[in-house]
Structure 1
Amino acid sequence: MSRLKARFDQLKAEGRAGFIPFVMAGDPSYDASLDLIRRLPEAGADIIEMGVPFTDPMADGVAIQLAGQRALKAGQTLAKTLAMAKSFREQDDETPLVLMGYYNPFYAYGVERFLDDAAAAGIDGLIIVDLPPEEDAELCLPARAKGLDFVRLATPTTDDERLPSVMKNTSGFVYYVSVAGVTGGATGENVAVSTAVERLQAASNLPVAVGFGVKTEERAAEVARSADAVVVGSALVDALAQALPQGEAAATNETLSLAKRLSRAIKTARQ
């Protein structure tokens, strides 16, 4: 059983939604980022989404764009991101790790080489923002053949005609982008999110994580009442950035403090 399947089975048994923090690998430095990722499970992370920095992050808002720029400036690469995952696995063999990014770095690395190295590093799944279902042969199908889940994005504009092709080779979970826009925007209305979650669960038979624009504890709790998991990215990245003038340790601690509060809100939302 994959780590993702095991974790979502656990969440279902506990009757709660999962907390999925997004962090940009290498932001603000390799060592600080690794320390943050290692400490996220004790802050309540059920699954960790690691961003792969890229020079043209078209689906991301300002906060995550700047995080990617800081990481690239610090020398972060896909190879270093895999090394970070491998170091994480030395201390934690249970928390699922999902890489989120754009196809260019993976293509440049070499797909077969990347998949072998990702599996060896303990990566559990991939979210590739700019690879549509029509290009499944590029990475999705080879990834699944290597035992890595391929998480697909669905949006409010994914209509009934498009949905079957989007869900066809999806595995692990479905990531519902609750608004038509970039990361960091406002989330959709509660009724719309709940209806979308039910629709995607029925279409895929997979858990549904909801993200984009979940910034507060109150909003995280609202989403957690219907979603199988809640993804929080920009809020955490913002917290890190705002504390950076005080030093990397302060930035890590501020990010972990917010993660704990969000985790608590998500885990108690259905009580």
Structure 2
Amino acid sequence: MSNYSQRRINLVFTIALINIGFAILCTIISDKFDFIWLRNYNAINILAYIAAAYLAKNGHLTIARILYLITSSIGIAVISSFAGKNGSLEFIYIFNIGLPFIMFSYRRERAYIISFFILPLILWFLLFITDYNLFAIRKIDPIIAKKVIYPITILSTISLVIFQLIYFLIINASYFNRIQKKELEALEASNAKSNFLSTMSHEIRTPLNAVIGLSYILGDNEPRKDQVQNIEALNYSGKILLNLLNNVLDFSKMQSTKIELDNIPVDLSEAIKQIKKFMKLLV
């Protein structure tokens, strides 16, 4: 069950329960008009929808969705064959065509979406080219189909499509809320990092300035010849570290505000000489 979201499980379970109600209604109507085969078929559909609801609730979501969509798509074609053109039951396929997009994950289950998007279209086309004789030649009285079944079909289709649209809106709203929350968390983390870098850089710069200043003082106080090179290395190392801290501060500014770059001349030969002197002391 952990592989599927609770939202999708609840969706399949709820839609299966709704279709149990539709199947019971179709069973009653079939029995009233003495369509024994259709009554028995709808009774089987009730069991299929109950199985789909049970499987969804117990975490077997893939089997539940496949069972539901096949039962629903074929069921609409069968009932439409008995209701005929005047019943217009095939309009419920409008709901079924969009259903795979909210039942399956587009990223992980694209093949299922395409398959169950095409299935209702094929059955709808077959109903049209066979003049609604795809599964049955005997029809309900056209007047009854037009006055009773047609209004029920239209109201059911409108209700189901509205439900689908509302569900899409809820999913989108939830998705964008999560994105906005993640964006705020990322900005807060970035700001915290920038504040930390800025604070630490300033705290380190204060004693570092003292080290550089004292190295200047030591150099001006006529040190011994064996101390001159050490003092120069100390002063140069302090300047390098100070420059590094300045770069860290500039990096922090780049994330929050715009900065302007300055063209500063650099004497590479002198820098290499200083680095060479410093490295000799470490060897």
Query: Could you tell me the TM-score, scaled by structure 2's length?
Result: 0.21
Larger Rg: 2
RCO higher in structure (CA 8 A, sep ≥6): 1
Query: Could you tell me the TM-score, scaled by structure 1's length?
Result: 0.22
